[in-house]
Every structure is written in structure tokens, then in C-alpha cells.
């Protein structure tokens, strides 16, 4: 065969492969489009999809608008005519996806990968995720969390000192978002990293600002479909600012790791767990596990990049979420003084005026726990999590989604779905006392194998904070109407304001 004939054959093969790929992509797109037309949600327009309806507030107005429209059907988010997310909000649909163990979506990896790294436990899939989870699980064992409680109390005392200041102007409405954010960042630094940060006193420093802005900045990309394409987004000034922020956060994490690496020089996990650390620090924390774990050949189990990736993930996942839960809980308690008073009585009965909470007695706060859960139901800290379907999915409403579709478990809409919850907009903690709740109806920490690894840590931290605050302060309704906003977590564009008053006023 001549060279010309070979070249011709190659050309035909490549063209055929391209044509097949294109036809399959068009067929997939068409099937998804036809399926999505039958769901609930905004009008689909070329080329914006439903975007015109959900560019403001990171899509929260859209979520609220369609919350009880056709609540059996999932909701479509067409971020253009070419990118669609199907938001599931019925327990059965979510259960079907969870049981099939569908992977994290490429979209989540694109949005968070630069910051958290593709080796982050939050973004990994398959056997790599499984072995990372297996390695990190001990950092959240019962014994480790028990050891963390006094540290959480110390951190909560610093928060209480700040609230003391607010209480000097008892009629002033205070936005509690940042105070809680700094408290939880401080707590995760002290517990998971044994790093005594000063963040609660440095509201305006670059590190805390960077953390606070990362969520809104990430979600901002959804306002412009072109920005979801990496090469185009990378040319914008927003991307440049974002990269600088990420660089600063990476540097900060690298410094914490380096400091610990020096401290652990020559030590094994056994040394640390039997308290032989030179500094005398007895806690065995998440960073110890990352640095000291070994593979079967005795080599470090994680590369430097993998360690940094897990650190960034824990700093992010371990603080913004819990801060959001505390913020909305405080808001709900201010709006419902009778629930607040019942929590306070329960805490005083258990601890009296001064005793510090312990791991054992924190388990004896059923009503306070019900209030925490009810606040997380109504104001779910994580609005949605995403998966990518490996094979077609038949929805409860009878529509079939093709393989490759990005689906979201819309935790926010599931928790407000009138077919799942009676009076869904009513704050009623008693519902968590009276009934056993289905794991696919209430899932602030997600559910299944990929649920939140920090679930117990977070619940203890929230209870500790409430024990320390409710015995000193009253949260009073400031008649403030928050404007819900998605910033990876559920924030409010105009803050979350309450009045903070001394208990004896
Ligand atoms: C109220 C507080 C919290 C809420 C509402 C929350 C919620 C969630 C949710 C919904 C997921 C699933 C994400 C997904 O499937 O894409 C998740 C995963 C995760 N969370 Fe949390 N979280 C909280 C606190 C924490 C804390 C305190 C930590 C660590 C100190 C943490 C670390 C993680 C990690 C590492 C994952 C990934 C787990 C995996 O994929 O195996 N979270 N969290």
C-alpha cells in the first residue's frame, strides 16, 4: 500500500470516529433535552437554558419558586442549552442514585479541583476514594472526638467573649455569620490540626477573608455559562483573583503541614498514640494520620500533594458548613423564644451555671439536638451535592434520564418538599422527637457511603457552642428578613441578624 493510501485510510478512520462521537453526543443531548422538558422548572430558551431565571442569589430564588411546584418531579437547571443539572428532591429518587454508588460529577471536580486538588477525599471516586476514607476514618473515631471536647470548649469561650461585647448594645441587630465562621475555623484548626490559630481575633486578616470569599467566588462562575469552560474562565480577571486566593490558601496549609512534619521527625503512629510527642501534646489528630500513615512497603501512604489536598479539604469542609448550621440555628432560636428557653432549661438542668460539657453529657440533650436538626432541615447548610449517572435512571415521576446526566441531591428542596414534610416551612423541633426520620428524607450530612466524615464532630461542636452561649445570652428576634444566597453553603446576602442580650437583662 502506498503512503498516500495509508494517509487516506487514516483520514477516513479519524473522520468516521469523529462522526460517530458527534452523533452519539447529539443523541445523548437530545434524549436529555426531551427528558428534562418533562420535569419542573423554568422555561428552556436557546442558548441560555433556564439561566435567566436563576442567575441571582446563586439560584436560591429559583429553588424557592419551584419548591412546591410539582413536588414529585425533579427540577431542571439548564445552565445553558448544553449543560443541565437535574435536581432530585424525592427520597426515592435520591435513594436510587445513592444505592448505585454513582461517582462525583465532573462539574464538582472542575469547580473545586483547583482549590482542593483532584486527590481530595471530597472529589475522588472508586478505589482511591475508598482507601483514602479508610485511612482518614480514625481521625473521627469516638475516642478522638471525646479528646476534642475540651478544645472545643476553649474555642467556644473565645466566641462567648465576643458575644459579651455584642451584648453591651442589646438593641443592636448583629450579623452572626462571621463570628461563627471564625469560631468553627478556629475549632477545626485546633482539633484536626492541633494548630492554635488566632483567627477569632483577626476578622480582617487575609487568611480569614480568603476563606470567607472562596464559596461565593466559586458559585459566581454559574452566572455566566462561558465561565464554566475552563480555558475561557482562566482569561478573566475574576479567575486571576481566584487563583491568587487559592495560592495563598495553599501556602497557609503547606506551612501548617511543614511545622508538624518537623515536630514528627522520626516518630511513628504508635509513638504518637502512646503520647511520646516531644511537645507533650497528647491528641492524635488528622494531620498525624496524613503524615505518618504507611503503605504495605513502609513508604509514606500519601504524597505531599495528597496531604495538602486533604488539609485544604478539611479546613473548608470542616468549618464553613458548621458555621452555617450555627448561624441559622441562632436565627431560628431568636425567632422561636419558646424553643430557645426549652434548650436553655435542658442545658442548665444538665450542667448547672458553670460546668463544662463533656462527651458523655453532650449525649443527654435531646431537645437541643432536635432544635439543631430542625434548623438544618429548614436551612440546610449544604444546599446540594452532585453525582454523574453511569447508566440511565428511571425517576419516580416516570421520566428516564440518560447515562452521563449530572444529578444533584437538592438537600434544600428535599427538606422543604411538602410531599415529604408536613408544614415544611414551619420550625417545629418536636418532629425530631416524635418520629423516626428516613435517612433519605433528612440528609444534611448526605447519606450512604459518601456521607459526611465529620458528622459527629460537627454535631458535638454545635452542642458545645450552644451550651456555652445559651447559659449567658438570649438571642432575640431582630425582625430581619434574610435573603437566601448560595455560596457553596447556604448564606444570606444581607447577613443573618439577631439581637444578643445578657441572660439576666
Ligand atoms: C454541619 C456541618 C456539616 C455539614 C452540614 C456537612 C455536610 C456534608 C455533606 C452534605 C457531605 C457530602 C458531600 C458530597 O457528597 O459531595 C459532606 C462530606 C464531607 N464532609 Fe462534611 N459537613 C459538615 C461538617 C464537616 C466537618 C466538621 C468536617 C471535618 C472536620 C467535614 C468533612 C467532610 C469531608 C472530608 C467530606 C467528604 C467525605 C467523603 O467524600 O468521603 N464535614 N459533608
pLDDT digits (tens, 9 = 90+) for 308-343: 999 999 998 999 999 999 999 999 999 999 999 999
Q: List CB contacts of 505: < 8 A, sequence separation 6 or more.
A: 170, 474
Does residue 117 line the site of ligand 1, with CB under 6 A? Answer: no
SS3 488: coil
- Pairing between strand 406-410 and 84-88? parallel
CA 453 to centroid of ligand 1, rounded, Å:
6
How many Cα atoms are found within 13 Å in the side-chain-facing hemisphere of 80?
12
Q: Is 322 in the pocket of ligand 1 (CB under 6 A)?
A: yes
Residues annotated in a binding site for heme: 452
CA dihedral 299, 300, 304, 309 (to 10 degrees): 140
pLDDT tens-digit map of 259-302: 888 888 877 777 777 665 555 555 578 888 899 888 888 888 99
User: Which residue, by CA, sits nearest to atom 37 of ligand 1?
Assistant: 122
**Ligand 1: does its nearest atom lie under 6 Å from the Cβ of 408?**
no
* Domains recognised in the chain with CATH numbers: 34-502 (1.10.630.10)
Q: Which atom of ligand 1 is nearest to the CA of 136?
A: 35
In three state form, how does the secondary structure of 364-383 look?
CCHHHHHHHHHHHHHCCCEC
For 422-446, letters b (16+ CB in 10 Å) and e give eebeebbbebbeeeeeeebbbbbbb
Global pTM reads 0.93
Q: What is the pLDDT of residues 235-266, one digit of tens each?
A: 999 999 999 999 999 998 898 899 888 888 87
Rounded to an integer, what distance in angstroms lies between the CA atom of residue 80 and that of residue 41?
Answer: 14
- Determine if ligand 1 sits within 6 Å of the CB of residue 384: no
At residue 46, what are phi and psi to the nearest 5 degrees? -85, 135
Please tell me what DSSP assigns to residue 321.
H
Q: Per the omega criterion (within 30 degrees of 0), is the bond before 197 cis?
A: no
Q: In terms of pLDDT, which residue wins out, 230 or 105? A: 105
Determine the Cα–Cα distance for residues 63 and 65; give it in Å rounded to an integer. 6
Q: Which residue from 97, 144, 317, 443 has its CB within 8 A of the most atoms of ligand 1, so it is best to mutate?
A: 317
Report whether 227 contacts 236 (CB < 8 A): yes
pLDDT at residue 204 tops 70 = no
Structural contact between residues 104 and 389, judged by C-beta atoms closer than 8 angstroms: no
Strand locations in 207-278 (E): none
- Ligand 1: which atom is nearest the Cα of residue 325? 1
Decide whether any atom of ligand 1 lies within 6 Å of the 450 Cβ.
Answer: yes
Amino acid at each position: 500500500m502506498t503512503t498516500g493510501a495509508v494517509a487516506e485510510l487514516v483520514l477516513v478512520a479519524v473522520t468516521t470516529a469523529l462522526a460517530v462521537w458527534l452523533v452519539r453526543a447529539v443523541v445523548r443531548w437530545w434524549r436529555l433535552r426531551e427528558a428534562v422538558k418533562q420535569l419542573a422548572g423554568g422555561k428552556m430558551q436557546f442558548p441560555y437554558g433556564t439561566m435567566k431565571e436563576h442567575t441571582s442569589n446563586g439560584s436560591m430564588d429559583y429553588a424557592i419558586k419551584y419548591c412546591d411546584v410539582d413536588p414529585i418531579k425533579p427540577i431542571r437547571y439548564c445552565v445553558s442549552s448544553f449543560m443541565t443539572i437535574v435536581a432530585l428532591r424525592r427520597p426515592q429518587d435520591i435513594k436510587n442514585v445513592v444505592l448505585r454508588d454513582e461517582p462525583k460529577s465532573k462539574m464538582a471536580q472542575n469547580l473545586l479541583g483547583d482549590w482542593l486538588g483532584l486527590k481530595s477525599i471530597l472529589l475522588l471516586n472508586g478505589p482511591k476514594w475508598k482507601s483514602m476514607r479508610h485511612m482518614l476514618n480514625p481521625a473521627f473515631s469516638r475516642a478522638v472526638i471525646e479528646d476534642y471536647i475540651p478544645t472545643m470548649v476553649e474555642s467556644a469561650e473565645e466566641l462567648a467573649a465576643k458575644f459579651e461585647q455584642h451584648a453591651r448594645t442589646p438593641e443592636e441587630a448583629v450579623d452572626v455569620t462571621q463570628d461563627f465562621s471564625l469560631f468553627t475555623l478556629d475549632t477545626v484548626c485546633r482539633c484536626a490540626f492541633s494548630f492554635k490559630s488566632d483567627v477569632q481575633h483577626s476578622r480582617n486578616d487575609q487568611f480569614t477573608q480568603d476563606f470567607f470569599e472562596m464559596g461565593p467566588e466559586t458559585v459566581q462562575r454559574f452566572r455566566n455559562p462561558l465561565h464554566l469552560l475552563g480555558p475561557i474562565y482562566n482569561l478573566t480577571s475574576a479567575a486571576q483573583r481566584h487563583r491568587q486566593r487559592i495560592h495563598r490558601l495553599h501556602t497557609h496549609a503547606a506551612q501548617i503541614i511543614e511545622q508538624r512534619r518537623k515536630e514528627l521527625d522520626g516518630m511513628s503512629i504508635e509513638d504518637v498514640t502512646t503520647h511520646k510527642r516531644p511537645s507533650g501534646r497528647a491528641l492524635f489528630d488528622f494531620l498525624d494520620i496524613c503524615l505518618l500513615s504507611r503503605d504495605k512497603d513502609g513508604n509514606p501512604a500519601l504524597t505531599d500533594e495528597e496531604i495538602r489536598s486533604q488539609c485544604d479539604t478539611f479546613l473548608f469542609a470542616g468549618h464553613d458548613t458548621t458555621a452555617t448550621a450555627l448561624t441559622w440555628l441562632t436565627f431560628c432560636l431568636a425567632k422561636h423564644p419558646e424553643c430557645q428557653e426549652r434548650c436553655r432549661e435542658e442545658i442548665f438542668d444538665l450542667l448547672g451555671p458553670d460546668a463544662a460539657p463533656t462527651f458523655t453529657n453532650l449525649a443527654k440533650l435531646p431537645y437541643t439536638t432536635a432544635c439543631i436538626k430542625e434548623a438544618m432541615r429548614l436551612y440546610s447548610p449544604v444546599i446540594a451535592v452532585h453525582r454523574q449517572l453511569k447508566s440511565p435512571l428511571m425517576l419516580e415521576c416516570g421520566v428516564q434520564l440518560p447515562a452521563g446526566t449530572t444529578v444533584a441531591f437538592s438537600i434544600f428542596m428535599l427538606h422543604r418538599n411538602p410531599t415529604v414534610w408536613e408544614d415544611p416551612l414551619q420550625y417545629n423541633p418536636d418532629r425530631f422527637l416524635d418520629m423516626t426520620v428516613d435517612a433519605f428524607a433528612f440528609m444534611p450530612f448526605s447519606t450512604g457511603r459518601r456521607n459526611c466524615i465529620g458528622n459527629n464532630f460537627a454535631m458535638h461542636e454545635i452542642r458545645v457552642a450552644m451550651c456555652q452561649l445559651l447559659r449567658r445570652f438570649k438571642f432575640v428576634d431582630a425582625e430581619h428578613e434574610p435573603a437566601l444566597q448560595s455560596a457553596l453553603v447556604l448564606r444570606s446576602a444581607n447577613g443573618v441578624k439577631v439581637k444578643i442580650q445578657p441572660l439576666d437583662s
